[in-house]
Amino acid sequence: MAMKLRLARGGSKKRPFYRIVASDSRMPRDGRYIEKLGTYNPLLPKDSEDRIQMDMERVQYWLDQGAQPTDRVSRFLEASGVIAKKERANLKKGTPGKKATDRAEEKAAKASAATEAANAPAEAAPADDSAE
């Protein structure tokens, strides 16, 4: 039986609440689980102690039995120091594309041209006043 440590969603619409559970990987996300190991409430502030609560003894037991944590649960375990931090691929999804980069360059060029144009007449204006 392939065991997973994962999140099972509860709560109402737009108000998520998760149970950290040990379950068979073939069961549905919110379906039958073997043991409840803790809770995760994403609506609480990040520095709140009640945001993530886990029974570490039972989590360690299931890890020793060969249960694989999902990505999110493994991040919780890394933050608590139960497992070592993993190297993750930092994908370039967050970087802007070619069109957005071109637009940003055009905007910067227009801004620098506008500042140069604003500085040039200011220098020329005193010379006109002295001629009159």
Residue 124, pLDDT above cutoff 70: no
Q: What is the pLDDT of residue 8?
A: 95
Counting Cβ atoms within 10 Å, is residue 31 exposed (0-12), middle (13-18) or buried (19+)?
exposed
Strand order in the sheet with 68-69: 52-54, 35-40, 15-24, 3-12, 68-69
Q: Give the pair of three-digit tokens for residue 132.
A: 């009159």
Per the CB < 8 A criterion, the answer to whether 73 and 6 are in contact is yes
The pLDDT confidence band at residue 122, using thresholds 50, 70 and 90, is: low
Per CATH, the architecture of 3-80 is what? 2-Layer Sandwich (3.30)
Q: Is 130 or 40 the better-scoring residue by pLDDT?
A: 40
Locate tokens 């549905």: which residue?
Answer: 28
Q: What is the pLDDT of residue 132?
A: 53
Q: Torsions phi, psi of 53, nearest 5? A: -130, 130
Mean pLDDT of 46-75: 92
Q: For 75-121, what is each residue's pLDDT tens digit?
A: 999 988 888 888 877 777 778 888 999 999 999 999 888 888 888 76
Q: What is the pLDDT of residue 116?
A: 84
Can you spell out the DSSP letters for 8-39?
A: EEEEETTEEEEEEEEEETTS-TTS--SEEEEE
Residue 130, pLDDT above cutoff 60: no
Please tell me the distance from the alpha carbon of residue 35 to that of residue 27, in angstroms, as a whole number.
13
Q: For 22-52, what is each residue's pLDDT tens digit?
A: 999 999 988 999 999 999 999 999 899 999 9
* Domain residue ranges of the chain, discontinuous segments joined by +: 3-80, 95-131
